[in-house]
Structure 1
Amino acid sequence: MPVFFASTAPPARRRVLLVAATLLLAVPAAQAQRVSARDKAKVDVIEQRMAAAEKRYTDALVLVANADPKGSAEGDAALEDMEDVIDACIGQKGCQVGTLLSTYKRLLKRQADASGEGVADEAGDTLEADPDHVGPLVADVPEAARAAALLNDHRHAFDDMVEYNPAIQAGIRRWLTDMRPALLTSYENYMNLRAVMWPEWEKRGLPEALLFGIMAKESNGRVHASSRVGAAGLMQFMPATGRRFGLGPDGTGFDTRFDPRSAAEASAAYMNERMGQLNRNIELALAAYNGGEGRALRVFNQSAGQGFWTDSVYSQFPGETKDYVPMVIAAAWIFLHPQQYGVEFPKVNAQPATIRLAKSTTIYELTICLGSAGTRDGYMRALRNLNPRYEADGWIPAGTTLNATTRIAGLYNRHCVNGPRADLARALITADLNAAIKRPGAAYNGSVAVGDVQAMQAAAAAAPPRPVQRPATRTHKVVKGDTLGRISTRFQCQLPTLARANGLRAPAYAIRPGQVLKLEGCRR
């Protein structure tokens, strides 16, 4: 939703105000007259009126961000107040028009940029960064107060901490073309995790855009991402580096590199450590994150503190790092300036909530019964990211509390506790592929859900239950294509119990064909 207001003041009046103010600014300071106490009091009143108008405008931005229809009218009124204040200042001895004019000119420029959107593209001009950032926080209703503070902060510290150059522009081009789906997916994943990740960076004074940029480049916001060299989690910590910052196996078989809050805390501590060594240079800190902290520190010391883009520094990093640094900054830049680049990030209802399971289930089953209302791809990724200790196909006991959002909690109570969709999800999740195979001398007992789900359920209820024949030894021989999660689903096992009984470690739970597993904690 744009936050520009079309003031109803006549354009001619604006031109008069700006021209008159500019002429006044040109008067040499030596010609300024002494200001009496009476005039000083009047100037103070004018400045207070300007401060009140600015606050009114800022409050209007918050109303617009929260889809309040009063926001636009309040914004227009605030602009008119500012015009009246500047008019009064021009006629008041001792009033510093320049102090008041800067805010007004910036607001008028914002309106001109909005009304002229697309003109720069037609003229072939190079896109530049937006002066303000409002996009990603529009949907963040639970943090409206913090959003208001950011909307009123026009300094954009991150913009001043990095160099916006052709390498960054090339990275932005890649994110906006073939990598656009990955960018949007990363944003959606981040927004679902923001409540647990961003506070860890915020309290350490690091830019949120940088957190998003690293996460987008490292994992696209997939908690369980792993690399071929052993890096793991959202922020892709190597085992040794993870241990330095408190990450790794926690004694239950879970690797905390996959925990979003822990990964955010560790990555913030790591970046601050690198920034402290490298003169607060974000590019070099990112080069250390990707290319090794030892190399980055050595290059920095040898170069007498020169920046990453200096040829003698840049040439000493591997090609992967030369690609990594601008791609992270490019993702961060789009995060801050989506409207400038025509990006509409998904609107994500990510207010945190929990659900207490009414019955045992799997994340796969929840994904089916929740549906996809309000999303592009459904809720499996959000559930997995918010609950990284659980495998997607592993049974989670009734009574377990899962992390979720308010939307997921509402859909769970509506569709997953009972009812046709809950029954259908259970039928799909427990379907046994082997039951579809017709064997000589055996009756076909498979079922295919086609048409009326209720009719299918009624037919199943009318049939007498078949006793389950369990192997006397209660073991299972692994065949090609088996995973521990699929085995736990087939035999209705508790995945942690099954893993512990067979000495398997999370998150891989590596098994091999021919291996014999003990089916402990299984109901079938």
Structure 2
Amino acid sequence: MKKNKPKGLGGVLLGATLLLSACASLDGGHAVQEAPLLAGADPVAKSTRLASQGETAAKPRPRINVAKPLADTSPSPTTDETIWGRVREGFGLPDERDHERVQHYIQWHQANSDYLGQVLARAEPYLHYILEEIEARDLPAELLLLPVVESAYRADVYSSGQAAGIWQFIPSTGRHFGLHQNWWYDGRKDIHTSTHAALDYLTQLNERFDGDWLLALAAYNAGQGTVSRAIARNESLGQPTDYWNLDLPRETQHYVPRLLALQAIVADPEHYQVGLWPVADEPRLALVDLGGQLELSVAAELADLSLDEIMQLNPAFHRWATDPDGPHHLLLPLDRVESFQIALAALPREQRVSWLRHQVRPGETLGHIATRYNTSVALLQRTNELKSHLIRVGDHLLIPTAEPSTQEVAAGRQDENRQASRSRTLHHRVQPGDTLWGLARTYGVTLQELAAWNRISSDATLRPGQTLLIRQAETAMAAAAGSTRGNVLTYAVRPGDSLSSISRRFGVRISDIQDWNQLDGHLIRPGQQLNLYVDANPRES
């Protein structure tokens, strides 16, 4: 296929200053550890580290039940009965399957034939939704596979450069494309908004490089400036300026071939004997407008889903409720939308978020009160229609309170993971398809550490049944769980609550609840208020 020649030097350098890279600074590449480009290497482009979800990395959160359970990932037929026929019809990237670098990654998938099926099974709830967005913009359908390269379709992974979400935006580029990030919410992890942002950015890059998608993808990985300068160098030397002839960072030289290898496999999975998860060509999710802030536990009840399922589909919300300032939307399984909307319309406004009444005491400020109730000063001001920080002793304030989700606790732990104070030893029994690189990513350690602990080389081939030693860092919070008091949350006991259920919900011990509240036994009553120390001082992210 003929390559489109990019703009000349003047236009290239001018455009290089306009946008940031999705996973990079203006001119730099991914600020991450480069993946080993060996036969046994994991195909994910970056070294990613699982963000803690209140569990160890060895125990991933349960998959949402809108997807079929992972079973056989043997190659699927190349018919149009699944979404893959539709994807093939929308292909728009050049077919480069014979290129040496593309062949390298095709062969990797052939040697690890279950990997792609497992990733696509995890991505199943999102695939039709994202493909619809891609088709609405008339973009190449292969972009549906880009999150496989970027994040293995994990919204809960962070690169060492703090790129996040399935499209791996760094904070600055996320903000540039309207992805809000605060204490409540991180739009980079919002499947809906981050997909729009990524497709916006990819469209701009494609236009910038005169319709050359390989150059656009290289710029998504390395930054516009890096690609533009490589083009300028080749122009000055009279050399070709297509992707394959540019002197680009090593990671970027292998980034585009990873995607093109997936294109080839999806085009003919039977030929390559690599399994595709059979995703039905039908909508699975819908975006629902909430009309205001809503507790996630309330949303789960209205949708007849578990809280884990709500958070899995909406990983951008870090706290117990949606952001007071928006966005006010949730992705929900399509078959739950109608009943959810009916139930939400009937829900009294005062029941969308739980509230407490606090009387201001001598010496208290809005900041003190916000910290005590695990909320923000701005929300207290908005809730109580305060135009300043001035409050008077004896005043009563309405306080929004609710049970913090497991994801909120995880958000606090993510910060503390960076300052781990001690480690624990795990033993992993190698399963078919396991690689050192994949296990390092799963357990949040480096490839070099994992190899050193087990006295093997970093490119060693693992044997099923082999046992590996893994040392995982634990946070200072985890080390002191149950003994160090963080922020106090006043929890109103609900009908059906018990000390046992509350202890599980908040991750604290029954004996601590009894101690904090001077309880002689296990008897509690609805409406009773309990003080719970559930989190270390949360910070704006």
Task: Provide the TM-score with structure 2 as the length reference.
Answer: 0.43
Bigger strand share: 2
Higher relative contact order (CA 8 A, sep 6+): 2
Bigger helix share: 1
User: Greater Rg, structure 1 or structure 2?
Assistant: 1
Task: Provide the TM-score with structure 1 as the length reference.
Answer: 0.44
